[in-house]
Amino acid sequence: MTEDIPLRQLLDDRLTASLAASELAPAAADLLRGMLPEPPPEKTGRAGPVYLRSITAAGWRGVGPETTLDLPPGPGLTVVEGSNGTGKSSFAEAAEMALTGLNTRWDGSNGKARTAVWREGWRNLHDCTVPAVSVRLTLDDTGDPVTVRRTWYGAKVDEARTTVERADGTEQKLEESIDASTLALYRPFLPYSELGSMVDGTLSALHNTLARFIGLGQLGDIDDRLAARIKACKDIEGRPRALKTSAIEALTGLDDQRAVEAARALGGRTADVDAVRALLDRDAVTDGGVDVRLRALATLTGPDEQEVAGALARLREAVAAAEDARHSDAEDARRLAGLLESALEHRHRSQSADCPVCGTADRLDRSWAENTRAEIERLQSEAAGAEAAHRTLSAARRAVHDLVQPVPDLLRSEESVLAGLWREWSLCRSLTDPAELANSVERIAPTLGAACWQVSEKAARRLTDRNTAWRPAAVRLAEWLGAEEKAKEAKDERGEIEKARSWLRKLTDELRDERMAKFVKQSQAVWKKLCESSSVSLGNITLKGTARQGSVKLGVSVDDQEAPAYSVMSQGELHSLALSLFIPRATHDDSPFGFVVIDDPVQSMDTQKVEGLAAVLNDCARHRQVVVFTHDTRLEQAISHLGIEATILRISRESDSVVTVEKRSDPVKQAFGEARALSYDQHLPQRVADRVIPAMCRNALEIACMETARRTLRDDHGLGLAEIEERIAKVERTKEYLALALLGDSSGEPQTVVQSLYTGGWTLINELNADSHPGLPTTGDRKQLVTRTERLAEAIQRGRGTVGPQGGAR
């Protein structure tokens, strides 16, 4: 099965195969490969599924003071019963709100906008407590629970924050416990508002949900991205049309040969792109080179007056400094300083003060040495100053040379006044004498600058005059040409994208049909149980269209004749359809949520569908924690009728929105328990005991008979729940209950069977039916009456064996 292969790998394998078979161009394949979904993150390896341990609400909807609905965690069926207005749906909505922060009743996702009544009615009217809802969850097999709590800090339903608290009191982030995308995909909540929205809502949202559920949601995302790129390409392709019209309007009436050529290129049935491009290229560099030359002359500048003045001033300062320290003086000073240093070195080596030249004794004494050192320092300083002056002069001369630029290319072949001035200016660069250089530059620079300014101004005026009319049209032409070239690229790109999209859609259809098969089979199985006696059949469920414009086609037929789903289904059947689509998704093997919460699914269902619902819920409860909220007692009756094991919780609401929850015990045991408790009361008046205790025993016996009757009529007579309840409703007397339970016929005579099941049983029944019971003078007698009746009830429920008055076999 392809669903066992990661989608990225599956797509890559299919792309490789299509390329090898030449079914897809390399460009289209590369495009799709660039859009392949990222590999899914590694699973955390959580040990077990998520179960609900409790739901708590305070100040929320119909719940006033804080009330907790405790739930048995783990697989099993729990039915939460309560009349309309008792607050049962408030718990269902509280669980969904705590985990998702959303509810279809409030957010309008069922296609109905949130009305002011709903917006303002989410707070409880009788309790001023800060509204809060929470769920206690078991996240894995370790059994350590976490509590997810949503508390409101504002007046609006979305002004709330969510916290997650571990069993040890520490907090963690919600995403560390519950993955939001997984919760959305396998959403285990089915509120009544969503059941109802199937009646008048569209199926596009269901299409997207199912596509994600079967693992193809990412293909829809890729299709969306391809569609967006196709639209972008079409937008680019459409741009040249308006720009062409604008260009033609700009060319109309121009007295310019270029305009005539451009209008001719655009005026054909198909615009001549190459001709327009050539015209614009020629206009940029040719047309006699007029525009190019004029633009160059218009930007021509001569020597900068301030730069020249500054450079000349520095040059002349350097010349003056150099005159004071000639280069030869520096050499003489260096030479004399060297001789004196040699004499000092001789004195130091020889350790003698005699002159080595004339031989005079003590001529080179200490005083001589000190004077000589001072002279050496003066000579060296004089030499360094002279050298620095010459370096400054060289730098100043070089700076002036740098200001002198060679003749510009556009003037080299000219014999104009400006060209002659520039040639004379460029010769200044060859002058080495500082004074001559300064005088030449000072003479030529102003004249050249003025000439350049005059030529530049004249060229700018000519350029403006020439292009004032043509340039806007040329701009429009360039805009059209650029758009036309991009449109050509976009058209080619769109062709590759459309090929890629066509290939992707074909693959999507193939995978969709394959992966939907399992889902359809599960949905049909649920439908069959829910609507076994209905003339409406659910066939194939097909996803049509794309992620953006998708729908679901439901194969519905009436007596084997195909028909539109909505037109032939009753509301109960539409609710059954919603359950058929919800249960396979919420109970998928990959879902980490071990629970499902269904609110009021019994509404609009006839009794036979309620039986089917009980069977479906029982199947789900084998591997899931199933929590069902209902106000209809028929579901409990159907559960009892089918012998389904379930936890029954009953919700009641007192004044000021005080909500209580109690676990429903076995009705027979509860009735006998109440009778026994009364029999223990030593202060019970005799006259009350004589009438009340037998009546309570008789009531408990009738309850046991009703349960037995349901089993007998179902198993032995094959009757459905509706007919069984109809027969039970007609029974009025205890002996009729016995006859219906033991014989399947309330008009029969059950005495013999009763006696066979419990010796003395018939006598006991007569005692219970008597108006007065003077035989119960003591507490022991009262207890014995309860015990004997309970033994008889047990025998009737077992339906076999003969039991004596004290419980012994006979």
pLDDT, one tens digit per residue, over 319-339 is: 887 776 654 466 666 677 777
If you average pLDDT over residues 488-505, what whole number do you get?
91
Q: Please state which of the ranges 3-17, 402-416, 671-685 shows the lowest mean pLDDT.
A: 3-17
Per domain, the residue ranges of the chain are: 43-188+591-664, 666-798
Which of residues 147 and 716 earns the better pLDDT score? 147
Residue-wise pLDDT tens digits, 738-780: 999 999 898 889 999 999 999 999 999 988 887 545 555 555 6
Neighbours of 114 (CB within 10 A): 14
pLDDT at 707 over 90: no
If you average pLDDT over residues 661-676, what whole number do you get?
85
Q: Please state which of the ranges 194-208, 420-434, 441-455, 482-496 shows the lowest mean pLDDT.
A: 194-208
pLDDT at 213 over 90: no
d(CA 699, CA 603): 30
Q: Please state which of the ranges 226-235, 375-384, 575-584 shows the lowest mean pLDDT.
A: 375-384
**What is the crossing angle of helices 257-267 and 273-285, to 10°?**
160
What is the pLDDT of the chain when averaged over all its residues? 81
d(CA 277, CA 283): 10
Lookup result for tokens 């530049």: 456
What's this model's pTM, rounded to 2 decimal places?
0.61
Q: Assess contact for 735 and 748: CB atoms under 8 A.
A: no
Which of residues 644 and 604 earns the better pLDDT score? 644
Confidence of residue 41 (pLDDT cuts 50, 70, 90): low
SS3 state at 429 = helix
d(CA 46, CA 179): 12
**Residues facing 89 on adjacent strands:** none
Let me know how many helices (H) and strands (E) the chain has, helices first: 29, 15
Containing 157, the helix (H) or strand (E) segment is none
pLDDT at 700 over 90: yes
Residue-wise pLDDT tens digits, 97-110: 999 887 766 555 44
Confidence of residue 27 (pLDDT cuts 50, 70, 90): confident
Q: Assess contact for 581 and 523: CB atoms under 8 A.
A: yes
List Cα–Cα distances, 342 to 51, 352, 355, 372, in angstroms. Answer: 106, 14, 13, 11
Confidence of residue 549 (pLDDT cuts 50, 70, 90): low
**Residues facing 659 on adjacent strands:** 653
Confidence of residue 449 (pLDDT cuts 50, 70, 90): confident
pLDDT at 211: 72
Q: Assess contact for 313 and 387: CB atoms under 8 A.
A: no
Residue 190, φ and ψ in degrees, nearest 5: -130, 90
- What percent of the chain has a predicted confidence (pLDDT) above 70? 83
Confidence of residue 206 (pLDDT cuts 50, 70, 90): confident
Q: Assess contact for 303 and 445: CB atoms under 8 A.
A: yes
Residue-wise pLDDT tens digits, 609-659: 888 889 999 999 999 999 999 988 888 888 887 878 899 999 988 887 788
pLDDT at 623: 92
Rg of the Cα atoms in the chain: 52
Please enumerate in sequence order all residues whose Cβ is within 8 A of that of 755, keeping only pairs 6 or more positions apart, or say none: 761, 762
Q: Count how many residues are written for the chain.
A: 810
pLDDT at 106: 58
pLDDT at 287 over 70: no
pLDDT at 1: 47
If you average pLDDT over residues 248-265, what whole number do you get?
86
pLDDT at 34: 85
pLDDT at 704: 92
Terminal C-alpha separation, the chain:
64
pLDDT at 330: 63
pLDDT at 810: 31
355: exposed, middle or buried (Cβ count in 10 Å: 0-12, 13-18, 19+): middle
- What percent of the chain has a predicted confidence (pLDDT) above 90? 17
Q: Which two tokens stand for residue 581?
A: 């689509």
**Residues facing 52 on adjacent strands:** 137
The closest alpha carbon to 531, from 567, 511, 558, 492, belongs to 558
pLDDT at 808 over 70: no
d(CA 583, CA 579): 6
pLDDT at 533 over 60: yes
Q: Which two tokens stand for residue 374?
A: 């001072």
Matching CATH number, 43-188+591-664, of 3.40.50.300, 3.30.360.10, 3.40.50.2000, 3.20.20.150: 3.40.50.300
pLDDT at 129: 73
